[in-house]
Amino acid sequence: MTEPIIRVKDLHKKYDDFEAVRGISFEVMEGEIFGLLGPNGAGKSTTLEIIETLRSKTSGEVIVKGFNLDTQPNEIKKIIGVQLQTSGFYPNLNLVELINLFAGLYNQTVDPLALLDKVNLRDKSKAKYKEMSGGQKQRFSIATTLINQPQIIFLDEPTTGLDPQARRNLWELIRTIREQGTTVIITTHYMDEAEVLCDRVAIIDQGKIIALNAPGELIDQLVESGFEKPGEVKKANLEDVFIQLTGHVLREN
Ligand code: ADP
Atom 15 of ligand 1 has which residue's CA nearest to it? 41
For residue 230, the model assigns a pLDDT of 79
Is the Cβ–Cβ distance between 61 and 68 less than 8 Å?
Answer: yes
Q: Is 38 left (phi over 0), alpha (psi -120 to 50) or beta?
A: left
**Alpha-carbon dihedral sign for residues 235, 216, 210, 191:** negative
Per-residue pLDDT, 251? 60
pLDDT of residue 252: 60
Instruction: Report the pLDDT value the prediction gives residue 245, as an integer from 0 to 100.
Output: 79
- pLDDT block averages, 10 residues each, the chain of length 253: 89 97 98 93 94 96 98 95 78 92 88 92 93 89 91 92 86 93 93 93 94 92 85 78 73 56
CA 176, 202, 142, 5 torsion-angle sign = negative
Residue 249: the pLDDT is 64
- Count of C-beta atoms within a 10 Å radius of residue 87: 7
Query: Which atom of ligand 1 is nearest to 47's Cα?
Result: 6
Q: Model's pTM, two decimal places?
A: 0.90
Would you state the pLDDT for residue 202?
96
Alpha carbon distances (Å) from 118 to 42, 46, 54, 163, 221: 33, 29, 27, 21, 38
Tell me what pLDDT residue 70 has.
97
Q: What are the angstrom distances between the C-alpha of 42 and each of 45, 64, 99, 110, 167?
A: 8, 23, 33, 37, 23
- Residues within a 6 A CB radius of ligand 1: 15, 18, 20, 38, 40-46
CA distance to 7, 210, 232, per residue, from 207 (Å)? 17, 9, 35
The atom number, within ligand 1, closest to the CA of 18 reads: 26
Q: pLDDT tens for residues 26-55?
A: 999 999 999 999 888 999 999 999 999 999
The reported pLDDT for the residue numbered 248 is: 65
pLDDT at 250: 60
Give the whole-angstrom CA distance, residue 234 versus residue 244.
16
Per-residue model confidence (pLDDT) at position 87: 66
The pLDDT value given to residue 169: 87
CA of 226 to the centre of ligand 1 (A): 35
State how far the Cα of 26 lies from the Cα of 11, in Å rounded to an integer: 9
CA of 20 from ligand 1 middle (Å) equals 6
d(C-alpha 139, C-alpha 134), whole Å: 9
